[in-house]
Structure 1
Amino acid sequence: MQDMKTSVMLVDDHAIVRQGVRSLLALTEDFEVVAETGDGAEAIGLARDTAPDLVVIDLLMPGVDGVSAIRSIRTVSPRSHVVVLTSSEEDDLAFAAIEAGAQSFTLKTMLGDELLSTLRRAAQGEAVIHPQVARRILQAVRRVREPQRNPFAELTERELEVLRQLAEGGSNARIAAALHITEKTVKSHLSNVLAKLHLADRTEAVAFAWRQGLMKDSAGG
Structure 2
Amino acid sequence: MTAVDAQIRVVLCDDHAIVRQGLRSILERDEQIKVIAEASSSGECLAVVGRTTPDVLLLDLKLSTSSDTEGLDLTRQVAERHPDVAILVLTTFLDEDLVLQAVQAGAKGYVVKDVDTDALMRAIHDVSRGESAFDARSAAAMVRGMQAPAPDTKPGLSPRELEVLRHLARGLSNREIGKRLYVGETTAKFHVGNILRKLGVSSRAEAVYEATKRNLL
Instruction: State if a TM-score over 0.5 links the two structures.
Output: yes
| Relative contact order, higher structure (CA 8 A, sep 6+) | 2
Give yes or no for the alignment of 1:71 onto 2:76: yes
| Equivalence for 1:53 | 55
Give yes or no for the alignment of 1:104 onto 2:109: yes
Q: CA 1:26–1:140 in structure 2 vs 1: closer, same or farther (change >3 Å)?
A: closer
Q: Which residue of 20, 23, 26 corresponds with 2:25?
A: 23
Secondary structure of residue in 1 paired with 2:133 = coil
Q: Which runs of 5+ in 1 are unaligned?
A: 148-221
Deviation string 1:195-219 (CA, Å, 9 cap, x unpaired) is: xxxxxxxxxxxxxxxxxxxxxxxxx
Cα separation, 2, equivalents of 1:12 and 1:89: 17
Alignment of 1:142-153 (within 5 A): 143-145=148-150
Cα separation, 2, equivalents of 1:141 and 1:28: 36
Cα separation, 2, equivalents of 1:140 and 1:93: 9
Following superposition, the deviation at residue 62 of structure 1 comes to 2.4
- Please, what is the CA RMSD of the aligned residues? 1.9
Following superposition, the deviation at residue 146 of structure 1 comes to 6.9
Cα separation, 2, equivalents of 1:136 and 1:28: 29
Alignment of 1:163-182 (within 5 A): none
| Equivalence for 1:192 | none
Q: Which residue of 41, 48, 51 corresponds with 2:43?
A: 41
1:136 aligned partner, one-letter code? A
Q: Which residue of 27, 31, 34 corresponds with 1:32?
A: 34
Q: CA 1:35–1:3 in structure 2 vs 1: closer, same or farther (change >3 Å)?
A: closer
Following superposition, the deviation at residue 117 of structure 1 comes to 1.4
- The answer as to whether partners of 1:59 and 1:86 remain within 8 angstroms in 2 is yes
Following superposition, the deviation at residue 44 of structure 1 comes to 0.9
Deviation string 1:151-203 (CA, Å, 9 cap, x unpaired) is: xxxxxxxxxxxxxxxxxxxxxxxxxxxxxxxxxxxxxxxxxxxxxxxxxxxxx
Greater helix proportion: 1
Give TM-score, length-normalised by structure 1. 0.62
Following superposition, the deviation at residue 66 of structure 1 comes to 1.2
- The answer as to whether partners of 1:44 and 1:76 remain within 8 angstroms in 2 is no
- The answer as to whether partners of 2:126 and 2:133 remain within 8 angstroms in 1 is yes
- The answer as to whether partners of 2:97 and 2:145 remain within 8 angstroms in 1 is no
Q: Could you say which structure has the larger radius of gyration?
A: 1
Q: Which stretch of the first structure deviates more once superposed, 62-71 or 33-42?
A: 62-71
Q: Which runs of 5+ in 2 are unaligned?
A: 153-217
- The answer as to whether partners of 1:67 and 1:96 remain within 8 angstroms in 2 is yes
Alignment of 1:203-218 (within 5 A): none
Cα separation, 2, equivalents of 1:92 and 1:141: 9
Aligned residues: 147
1:14 aligned partner, one-letter code? H
Cα separation, 1, equivalents of 2:49 and 2:40: 13
Cα separation, 2, equivalents of 1:140 and 1:57: 21
Cα separation, 1, equivalents of 2:150 and 2:126: 30
Q: Which stretch of the first structure deviates more once superposed, 77-86 or 130-139?
A: 130-139
Cα separation, 1, equivalents of 2:151 and 2:91: 30
1:102 aligned partner, one-letter code? A
- The answer as to whether partners of 2:112 and 2:135 remain within 8 angstroms in 1 is yes
Following superposition, the deviation at residue 54 of structure 1 comes to 0.2
